[in-house]
Structure 1
Amino acid sequence: MRPKVVAHRGASHDNAEHTLRAYLAALDAGADGLECDVRLTADGHLICVHDRDLRRTAASPGAVSTMELAEIAELDFASWKNPWADLDDEAAEPDPATSGVLTLRKLLEHVADLDRRVEVAIETKHPTRYGGLVEKRLVEMLGEFGWDRAGSPARVMSFSFTALQRVERLAPGVQLVQLIDRPAAWPMLRRAIGRDWLVGPGMDDLTEHRKYGKRLARSGHEVHVWVVNTAEELRLCQDLGVTTVITDRPAYLIGLLDGRPGGRSAPGA
């Protein structure tokens, strides 16, 4: 079985995560889908960012929830990935249009304009000071694209069971993925989650607890795994019948699945 390949925060192994450049690279590689984390700014914009503050990715101590989009838009979200770029004569000049903060709206607009179906896996981050407002704003935005119903290319993921329940009430047709960060949580979650919900275990847990992976595979829930970056991890996922792998290295995994030497993507792919 060939799993779908979803780019984790874009092609984030080689590009700064959550930047438009990272997502364009993933699309060029032929990724089946794009994964992003979303947080709400102080003035109500959903932006693609993982951490609650911007120290790691934009060298700013500010918390996303306390800053307005205009403030965040002034920051550089790409330099941290290659801090020695100024000393590299062959490094490409940074493009502010693809290296700054990325709003969810802009990402969805890019996906909507594509001439092929590309899925979008959107993770809402919790806890947050805005609580359920994050899911409310997200569903409203999906509705603007007509993606708040069955058949939508968008799905919503979260480690928060409560957050996914909110989405289910607001948009019953949208696919939901219950992310799992520890195997011990599965017995309880199995009894609580919806019959048609997907489950998202971490790759490290599947590697360390082989019986856990087999239990998930027999559960009747479609399994999406994060983060799959090596040939060995991909083989384990295939053995378990995993339907989607979320990876920092979409070009590499697609190359492996296509049987190309070294797992490299074809020229121009």
Structure 2
Amino acid sequence: MTTQVVAHRGASDENAEHTLGAYLAALESGADGLECDVRLTADGHLVCVHDRDLRRTAQARGLVSTMDLADLNELDFATWKNPWADLDDEAPERDESLDRVLTLRKLLETVADLDRRVEVAIETKHPTRYGGLVERRLVEMLKDFGWDVPGSPVRVMSFSFTALQRVERAAPGIQLVQLVDKAQHWSMLRRVVGPGWIMGPGIALLREQPRLGERITTAGHDMHVWTVNTDRDLERCLELGVKAVITDRPAYILERLGR
């Protein structure tokens, strides 16, 4: 079995998360897949941003949901990762387009233009002021690419069971991943998730609950595990037969897998 290596927010250990630069670095490393979080802007664009506010990654005030895409485009989403870069006289000049807010459409276009199959795991963030509109816009976009059918390179993830139900109703062909960060949630979810749904426990949860992984696989569900960055955690995932590991360090994990 080949374990899929998915770049968490791009190659985000060394690059600013969710920037085009981080995703291009992940692709260059040979990552099998890319992971992103999406939020909806005030003017209806899906953008790849994890936090609801902009303080951490853009060093700015404001909420993603209350700003237009044009306003977000004015912000620098990369300097926070390496704030001293401007002092390095020998560093190559950066292409600023690699450091701006990244729309989901741009990310999907980048993947569509590749000469190899790369999968995309898209997480919808909840709660949000826009509720189910996020999933509606997402499904509409996937239909634009013809990626709303079985065999699509795209899967949708969420901690929200309700959000995944929305996707399933709108586009039954899209693969779904139910994210889990607490053991007691599995006790409830195991009774309601669809038989073809993938479970996405965090690696910290699998460390705390050593038998949880076996219980999930015994129930007939594949696992995609986040965020796997160390040899020890990778080894645990391989022992459990995990189908995909989501990592900040795709190049390192690929090397450890002998790829």
Give the structure-1-normalised TM-score.
0.95
1:184 to partner: Cα distance: 1.3
Q: Deviations over 1:191-234 (max 9, x none)?
A: 01101000000011111211112212222111000000011110
Answer whether contact 1:2 1:257 (CA < 8 A) is retained.
no
Q: Distance in 2 between matches of 1:236 and 1:217?
A: 14
1:263 — aligned with what?
Answer: none
Shift of 1:61: 1.4
Q: Structure 2: which 5+ residue stretches go unaligned?
A: none
- Aligned twin of 1:107: 107
Which residue of the partner structure matches residue 267 of structure 1? none
CA distance in 1, matches of 2:217, 2:189: 15
Instruction: Tell me the SS of whatever aligns to 2:190.
Output: helix
Is it true that 1:24 corresponds to 2:24 in the alignment?
Answer: yes
1:189 aligns with 2:189: yes
Secondary structure (helix, strand or coil) at the match of 1:192 reads coil
Return structure 1 stretches of 4+ with deviation > 3 angstroms: none
**TM superposition shift of 1:92:** 3.1
Cα distance, 1:181 vs. partner? 1.2
CA RMSD, aligned part only? 0.9
CA offsets per residue over residues 26-64 of structure 1, 9 Å max, x none? 000000000000000000000000000110000111100
CA distance in 2, matches of 1:224, 1:5: 10
Q: Secondary structure at the match of 1:43?
A: coil
Conserved? CA contact 1:23–1:34, under 8 Å:
yes
Distance 1:133 1:100 in 2: 24
What amino acid sits opposite 1:20 in the alignment? L
Q: Percent identity?
A: 70
1:266 aligned residue: none
Q: 2:170 and 2:233 mapped to 1: Cα distance?
A: 35
**Which string of whole-angstrom CA distances, capped at 9 and with x for unpartnered residues, describes residues 104-155 of structure 1?**
0000000000000000000000000000000000000000000011110000
How far has the Cα of 1:91 moved from its partner? 2.8
Counterpart of 1:241 in structure 2 is 241
TM-score (norm: length of structure 2):
0.98
State the alpha-carbon separation in 1 of the partners of residues 25 and 113 from structure 2: 16
SS in 2 for 1:191: coil
State the Cα distance separating 1:102 from its structure 2 match: 0.2
CA contact (8 A) 1:2 1:238 kept: no
